[in-house]
Amino acid sequence: MADDVWILGASMIKFGRLPDKDLLDISSEAALGALADAGASMADIEILAVGNQFEPLGGVGQQLQKQIGQTGIPVYNVTNACATGASALRIVSMAIKAGEAEMGLAVGAEKMGKARLGGGGATAGKAVYERHGRSGAVMSTEGVLGTDFMPGVFAQAGMEYAHHHDGVGFEQFARVAEKNHAHSSLNPLAQYQKVFSLDEVMGSPMMSYPNTLLMCCPTGDGSAAVVVASGEKLETLDPDVRRRAVKVSASVLTTDPWVDGGHQQPDVNTLTRNAADKAYEQAGVDPQDLDLVELHDCFATAELVHYDNLRLCEPGGAGDFIDSRGPWRDGRIPVNVSGGLISKGHPIAATGVANVYEIVTHLRGEAGDRQIEGATVGLAHVIGLGSTCAVHILERAAT
């Protein structure tokens, strides 16, 4: 147990568009909430990692300290695309594993407001076919050989999966969004809590086939935080803190290996499979042991391909998995009971920590109406294009 890492406290604010609160307001709220949940204060924290994608040059971690307590501890400001929050948690966990700290705080916070869907675009003007840039390209590949437009990237991933596997089409992708909107209706912290029928999902405006508007995550503001401690530290704490502690059984971070075509179109599959396989081995669990999963469903197509990448179904069986209601709350392996990014929201840096918060809440039996009864093992997954994938496996374990 001395080498184990445990989550003692977790907090998440309600995601949404919060024009009356700035980045420090929302990050302070989550951080103080996690500390209170752990029965701790900043005086107990020996390392702080703060994830933020859009304002990282402002020293957000140091600014946050001025709001919640300046104690001179090491502070890491983290940016790693959509995996930013999960990377902050991993930094704190590794410091504890290394013996540099006994207790730490990881925070993910983002102010996005009503931002547009990210991505690239074709360059206007006269085409000059001369080699330029680091890769010696003669022209932009945007819209020709691939795309950086987020709905397009994940639409392409979904359509490629559908091309290679029977039983996957527009309806299967839409069923993912139908499920997540239904799940969010039970989550008071979700940005949206409205149920949509399958026909409404399929009939909403098309963004990038097969992703309609209701199959895309919204932008917004949000934050989440967790307090992490060593096993040795946990043994010294109050019995109620020990009872509610959740073990971090695996923490894995991967990036893209080289794959054919990867320079033209982001590969969201290989690094996820690599991270999942390593995490299962590290935790000593099988995918079928999972009681719930929070995965990166920035678009409905992303969730469906990740059923396969995370080994939640048989190879090529993602279509059958959603058709059989396998990932619903009452299914074989519930996925995105929170509503997922599609309906819970996706303030970039907060997402990785928020996914962990959701798993922790269920493992403690504190998820209210959306509770997965008897949950003991959960997996949190996030992927940031570029690309980076983080997988954490969490367990409720006797201490």
Q: What are 16's strand-pairing partners?
A: 221
- State the catalytic residue, choosing from 346, 362, 381, 392: 346
Least Cα distance to 294 among 220, 377, 216 occurs for: 377
* Contact status, residue 310 vs residue 153, Cβ threshold 8 Å: no
Q: For residue 109, what are its two tokens? A: 């916070």
* Contact status, residue 47 vs residue 97, Cβ threshold 8 Å: no
Widest pairwise Cα distance in the chain: 70
Residues with Cβ within 8 Å of residue 334, at least 6 apart in sequence: 291, 292, 293, 327, 328, 372
**Residue 216 known to be catalytic:** no
Least Cα distance to 343 among 183, 205, 202, 209 occurs for: 183
**Residue 217 known to be catalytic:** no
The residue length of the chain stands at 399
* Contact status, residue 195 vs residue 187, Cβ threshold 8 Å: no
67's enclosing H/E stretch is helix 60-68
Least Cα distance to 226 among 329, 116, 108, 142 occurs for: 108
Cβ atoms within 10 Å, residue 270 = 17
- State the catalytic residue, choosing from 82, 216, 217, 313: 82
Instruction: List, as own/partner pairs, every contact residues 21-26 make where C-beta atoms lie below 8 angstroms and the sequence separation is at least 24, other chains included.
Output: 21/221, 22/111, 23/52, 23/55, 23/60, 23/109, 23/110, 23/111, 24/60, 24/63, 24/64, 24/67, 26/109, 26/111, 26/221, 26/222, 26/223
35's enclosing H/E stretch is helix 23-38
Active-site residue numbers?
A: 82, 346
